[in-house]
């Protein structure tokens, strides 16, 4: 089968052995698979995959149809459309996912788009709803709000009744992000729109001093992305004065049980909104799996509204 493979600092489409599903696992003919910042970090050798996954094989999220069942897999049937997060190797014609972290794909969500849903919406829901406990009437700042996780965070927050301020660097993208349920502003305007009960930090360390200064009493900052850097000097006195909480989150290296719990919450709380067209997966561009190099080139350029997705036309036709 064909798969995206890292080679000499680039991404190519190569022939690789087909995977086999283990106990409780599903073999999926992948229709679409989203690209994520973690893929670039893995390619650079800065984000090793979990044990059992190859360093040179990217892909953290998939959507497609089940073509094989491992021993003991009972939650789904052959031919079912599923999506979910995987530890790696998802950008391929075939991928393996444990049935406990697989979700049914709502009929309202095309399979060619669904590959951009799991990582963005699971990350945003776990960070904002489960951990930060964002509530109706609270004020949320989402930094870097035009990306996949950012657009998911804006929509989820608006759905629970929060007031959302979306920081968007590119002025041309602000109207589209605002249409998701936010007031879209430039980075220079953040200080005048606070204070915020919750801040979803998707850009990285340079924003942290400003974030702390913009928090309300008892506010929470959840760090999700580190694209602009991971090291910062902070005045912890401000943290104490605000009685604030600062924490970070990832999904990839969590135990299966934790991922399964996060998945079930999204399945119950978010998928019905997708089915009613109340939430959208924004896909900035799609590329065939055979053109993985072009997809990665587009992803690295930035200024994206939503996700970049690899699509396997052969799987889509099954």
Please count the other Cβ atoms lying within 10 Å of the Cβ belonging to residue 313: 11
Do 197 and 180 meet the contact criterion of CB atoms below 8 Å apart? no
- Residue 241 has, within 13 A of its CA and on its CB side, a CA count of 8
Q: Per the omega criterion (within 30 degrees of 0), is the bond before 195 cis?
A: yes
Contact by Cβ (8 Å): 102, 83: yes
95: which 2 tokens?
Answer: 């991928």
Give, for all 318 residues of the chain, the pLDDT tens digit: 999 999 999 999 999 999 999 999 999 999 999 999 999 999 999 999 999 999 999 999 999 999 999 999 999 999 999 999 999 999 999 999 999 999 999 999 999 999 999 999 999 999 999 999 999 999 999 999 999 999 999 999 999 999 999 999 999 999 999 999 999 999 999 999 999 999 999 999 999 999 999 999 999 999 999 988 999 999 999 999 999 999 999 999 899 999 999 999 999 999 999 999 999 999 999 999 999 999 999 999 988 999 999 999 765 443
**Contact present, 222 and 200 (Cβ < 8 Å):** yes
| Cα atoms found within 13 Å of the Cα of residue 33, Cβ hemisphere only | 35
Give CA 79 to chain center in angstroms.
Answer: 25
pLDDT of residue 128: 98
* CATH, domain range 120-248: 3.90.180.10
316 phi and psi, to 5 degrees? Answer: -65, -25
User: Model-level pTM?
Assistant: 0.95
Tally the C-alpha atoms within 13 A of residue 307's C-alpha that lie toward its C-beta: 29
The CATH T-level fold of domain 2-116+282-316 is: Quinone Oxidoreductase; Chain A, domain 1 (3.90.180)
Q: Are 198 and 140 in contact (CB under 8 A)?
A: yes
Percent of residues in the chain assigned helix, strand, coil, to nearest 5: 35, 30, 40
Burial bucket for residue 34 (CB in 10 Å: 0-12, 13-18, 19+): buried
Kindly list the distances between the CA atom of residue 6 and the CA atoms of 144, 230, 294, in Å, as whole numbers in the listed order.
Answer: 27, 24, 13
Contact call for residues 158 and 181 (beta carbons, < 8 A): yes
CB atoms within 10 A of CB 4: 27
Q: How far apart are CA 173 and CA 188, in angstroms?
A: 16
- Listed residue (274, 267, 250, 275) closest to 155, CA to CA: 274
Residues of the chain with CATH 3.90.180.10: 2-116+282-316, 120-248
């Amino acid at each position: 089968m064909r798969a995206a493979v890292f080679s000499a600092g680039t991404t190519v489409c190569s022939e690789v052995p087909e995977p086999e599903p283990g106990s409780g696992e599903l073999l999926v003919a992948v229709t679409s698979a989203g690209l994520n910042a973690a893929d670039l970090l893995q390619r650079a050798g800065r984000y090793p995959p979990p044990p059992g996954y190859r360093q040179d094989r990217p892909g953290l999220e998939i959507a497609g149809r089940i073509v094989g069942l491992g021993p003991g897999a009972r939650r789904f049937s052959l031919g079912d459309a599923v999506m979910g997060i995987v530890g790696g190797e998802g950008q391929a014609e075939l991928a393996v996912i444990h049935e406990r972290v697989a979700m049914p794909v709502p009929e309202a969500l095309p399979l060619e788009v669904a590959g951009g849903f799991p990582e963005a919406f699971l990350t945003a829901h776990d960070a904002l709803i489960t951990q930060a406990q964002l509530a109706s009437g609270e004020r949320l700042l989402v930094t870097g709000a035009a990306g996949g996780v950012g657009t998911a965070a804006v929509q989820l927050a608006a759905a629970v009744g929060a007031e959302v301020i979306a920081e968007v660097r590119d002025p041309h993208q602000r109207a589209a992000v605002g249409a998701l349920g936010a007031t879209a502003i430039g980075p220079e305007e953040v200080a005048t729109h606070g204070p915020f009960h919750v801040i979803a930090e998707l850009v990285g360390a340079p924003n942290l001093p400003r974030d702390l200064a913009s928090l309300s009493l008892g506010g929470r900052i959840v760090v999700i992305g580190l694209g602009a850097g991971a090291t910062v000097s902070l005045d912890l006195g401000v943290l104490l004065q605000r009685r604030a909480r600062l924490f970070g989150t990832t999904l990839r290296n969590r135990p299966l049980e934790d991922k399964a719990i996060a998945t079930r919450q999204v399945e119950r709380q978010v998928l019905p909104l997708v089915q009613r067209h109340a939430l959208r997966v924004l896909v900035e561009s799609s590329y065939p799996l055979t053109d993985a190099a072009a997809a990665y080139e587009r992803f690295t350029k930035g200024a994206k509204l939503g996700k970049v997705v690899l699509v396997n036309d052969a799987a889509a036709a099954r």
